[in-house]
Structure 1
C-alpha cells in the first residue's frame, strides 16, 4: 500500500516512475558480481568503495525519481529523463571499471552495454548513436588515461583494445536495433490511439440518430436505466416525457419525405434550444437527456424533476415550438406536438414508466393534440395546460 502511494495516480507519470525503478534495479543486479570482485581482490577499492558507488547510484536515482514524481521533468522535451539517466549510468560504470582489474573488467563492461537496453523505451536511432559515440569515446579516453605511459604492445593493452572494438560493434548494433524497436513501439502506440478513437467514434455513431444527430433509442434506454437505478439508490425522483409531432404523416404525404426530414431535424434543434433555457434542465446535459425514440417520437429525461415541474417544462417547450414556424425548403411550416409525462415511482421498471408516459401521450392525441398530458395514475389531469 505504501508503495502504491509513492507512485503517482497519473497513468503516464506512474509508467515513467516504474521504468525509472527498473533502471535502479539494474544497478542492484550488478552488486553481487561487484561483491565477488572485491572479495577476490580484483578491485582497487574495498567494500567501502563499492557501497559508496552504490550509494551514489541510489542518490542519483532518487533525484531522477523526485524530478519525475513532482512533475519537474515535464518542462523538458524528454519528460522521462531517459537519456540523462543512461549517461549517468555510463559514467558510474566507467568509474567502476577504472578501479577493476582486467579479470573483472569484462563483467563490468556488460553493465556498461546493458544501459543501452533502456533506450528502447523511447530513444530514436539518432539518439542511440549519440550515446554510442559517447560510450565508445569515454571508454577510449579511459584507455588513453590508463595506458598512455605504457607500451601499447602488451597483452593487457591488446585485451582492452579488443574490448573497445567489441564495444563499438555492440553499441552500434544496439543503436540500430534499439531504434527500430523504439520506432515500432511508437507506431504500435499510435495505432492503438487511432483504434481507440475509431472505436469511440463507432460507439458514438451507434448511439446517434443518423438523420437528426440526436441520441437514438439505444442510448436513451441506457440513460433511462441509469437514471432509474440512481433514483432508486438515493431515493430521488425524475420524470420522463414522450413527444410526438402532430400529423407528421401529412407533411410527408403533402410535401414529400425531404420536408419531413427537415421538420424532424428542426424539431430536435428547437427542443434542445428551449430545454437549455429551462431552469429544470440547466444543471443537466440536454444532449444526453433528449433523443429520437422512433419515427416522429422523441424522449426527454428530466432528472431530479417531479411531475409538476416536468409538466411546466414540457408546456414551455410546446409553447415555443407552436409559436414560431419551422423554416423548410418548401417555406414556413407550422409544427406542434403532443407529449405524455410520467413521474418515476419507487420500484418501477423502465418499461412500465415508458408505458405510462406513452399512454399519456396517446391520451393527449385523443384530446385534440398540441397539448401535454400526465399519466393518469400519477394523479394529474390530462389536457392542455394553461
Structure 2
C-alpha cells in the first residue's frame, strides 16, 4: 500500500512538472511571433525577387539589394531583442507594433519601385495586420492600418509625380480604396481576436496560479506547512546525488515530539495540532534558509542540513530543542509543555540513504532511552555517541 501511494505521488508530481509546459509563456509566444514575422519577411523577399526577375521593378539589382538588406537588418535587430529576452519586461514582449510598422514600411517601399502589380505587393501588408491582431488592441490596430493606408497613398502620389504617364490613376485609386476597405475589415476582425487573446491570457494567469497552488499542496503537509514525507525524501535523494558528485556533505536529523500521545489524550487533539504548528514555526525561525524540514507523519519530523557535519548539526538541533522547551504554551493550558528528542547522523559517501536514516533513527532511540528532551549525534567514531542534554 505504501509503495502504491508513493507511486501515485510520483505520478502526480510528474504531471505537475509537465503542466507548466502546457501553459502559455510570454517568451515562448514572443518566439512564435518572431518566426511568423520572419516568414512574412521571407515571403516579401521572394515576391520582390520574382517581380524583379520578371522586369516589373524599376532600378537595378543594387536597388533591390539595398531594399532587402535594409528590411532584413531591421528584422534581425527586432528578432535579437526578443530572442535575448530584452523585451520581457515590456507590456508587449513581442514588439508587435514596432515589427508590424517595420514590415509595413518594407512592403510599401518595395511597392514604390514597382511598375505594375503594386497592389499585389501591398497585399503582404495584411499578413502583418493579421499578425498584429494577436497582440494589439484597437489603438494599435488603428495605428498600423492608418500607417498602411496613408503609406500606400503616399506611394501612389510619389509614383504619379515621377512616372505619371505610366499609371492608370483611376484604376490605382480604386485599388487603394479596396486596400482601405480591407484594412478596416482587418481592424474589426482584429479587435475580436485581441479580445479572445486577452481572455486566454487571463485564464493562463489563473492556470499558473492554480499550478503553483497545486504544487504547494503536493509537497506540503496540510497541518504544519512543512514539506511532506514524499518531498523530503526527494530532497534527501538530491542531497545524496550532490554528495556523490563532489566535495559535499549533509546531515540528517530525526526529530520526535516527546510524549505527544499524552498531550493529545490530556489536552485534546486541537491542542496537539496547535503544538505541531507552533513547532513548525519555531523550526522555521531557528533553522538556516538552506536547511530543510519535513513531517514524516504524526509527531515525527526529519531535518536535512546541507553542508553540515554531525557536530554542526548537533548545535542547530540543540537550538531547536531549547527553543521549543522555552516556548510558553500556557495560553492553551497552564500545564501544557512540549519537548523534542533528536537523533543525528551524517551521510557517509557511498552508503544507501536507508542506512543513513537507520543510524539517525538509532540516535533518536538513544535520546529517548536517556530521558528524552535531548540531542544525540553520532560521532565519527562509532564507539560512543555525543549527547547534548538540557542544562539543569
* Fold similarity call, TM over 0.5: yes
Whole-angstrom distance in 1 between the partners of 2:335 and 2:124: 80
Equivalent residues in 2 for 1:75-154 (5 A)?
A: 78=92, 80-102=94-116, 104-143=117-156
Give, in angstroms, the shift of residue 19 of structure 1. 4.1
Structure 1, 361-370 or 37-46: larger mean CA deviation? 37-46
- Which residue number corresponds to residue 206 of structure 1? 218
**Cα separation, 2, equivalents of 1:155 and 1:237:** 82
Equivalent-residue separation in structure 2 for 1:352 and 1:343 (angstroms): 11
The corresponding residue for 1:322 is 325
Q: Distance in 2 between matches of 1:68 and 1:301?
A: 41
Match of 1:285 among 287, 290, 293: 290
2:354 equivalent to 1:351: yes
- CA displacement at 1:383 relative to structure 2: 5.2
Aligned partner of 2:181 in structure 1 is 169
Match of 2:193 in 1: 181
Structure 1 345/126 Cα, relative in aligned 2: closer, same or farther at 3 Å? same
- Quote the residue 1:259 is aligned against: 271
Q: Deviations over 1:61-114 (max 9, x none)?
A: 455456667888789765544323323333343333333223x32321222333
Q: CA RMSD in A?
A: 3.5
Following superposition, the deviation at residue 204 of structure 1 comes to 0.9
> 1:45 touches 1:99 (CA, 8 Å); kept in 2?
yes
Q: 1:285 is paired with a residue of what secondary structure?
A: coil
1:334-376 per-residue CA deviation (whole Å, 9 max, x = no partner) reads 2222222222223222222222222322232223222222459
Cα distance in 1, alignment partners of residues 86 and 387 from structure 2? 66
State the partner residue of 1:58.
72
Equivalence for 1:367: 370
Shift, 1:149, TM fit: 12
Residue 15 of structure 2: aligned partner: none
Q: Which runs of 5+ in 1 are unaligned?
A: 1-10, 276-281
The Cα of 1:119 is off from its aligned counterpart by 1.0
The answer to whether the Cα contact below 8 Å between 1:359 and 1:375 also exists between their aligned partners in 2 is no
Gaps of 5+ in 2: 1-24
TM-score, reference length from structure 1: 0.80
- Judged with a 3 Å threshold, the aligned counterparts in structure 2 of structure 1 residues 297 and 93 are, in CA distance, closer, same or farther, namely closer
TM-score (normalised: structure 2)? 0.79
Distance between the aligned counterparts of 2:350 and 2:61, measured in 1? Answer: 74
In structure 2, how many angstroms separate the alpha carbons of the residues matched to 1:325 and 1:187? 51
Tell me the equivalent position of 1:380: 384
CA distance in 2, matches of 1:308, 1:76: 50
- Residue 292 of structure 1 and its aligned partner are, at CA, apart by 1.7
Q: Is the 8 A contact 1:207 1:216 kept in 2?
A: yes
Aligned to 1:308: 311
CA shift digits 1:141-199 (9 cap, x unpaired): 44456569999xx9933422331232123212222333333443343344233322211
Task: Determine if contact 2:48/2:110 at 8 Å carries over to the other structure.
Answer: no
Q: 1:36 to 1:208 in 2, by over 3 A?
A: closer
Partners of 2:245 and 2:195 lie apart in 1 by 50
Q: Distance in 2 between matches of 1:238 and 1:76?
A: 42
In the alignment of these two chains, the number of paired residues is 364
Residue pairs, 1:214-229, within 5 angstroms:
214-229=226-241
1:297 pairs, out of 290, 295, 300, with 300
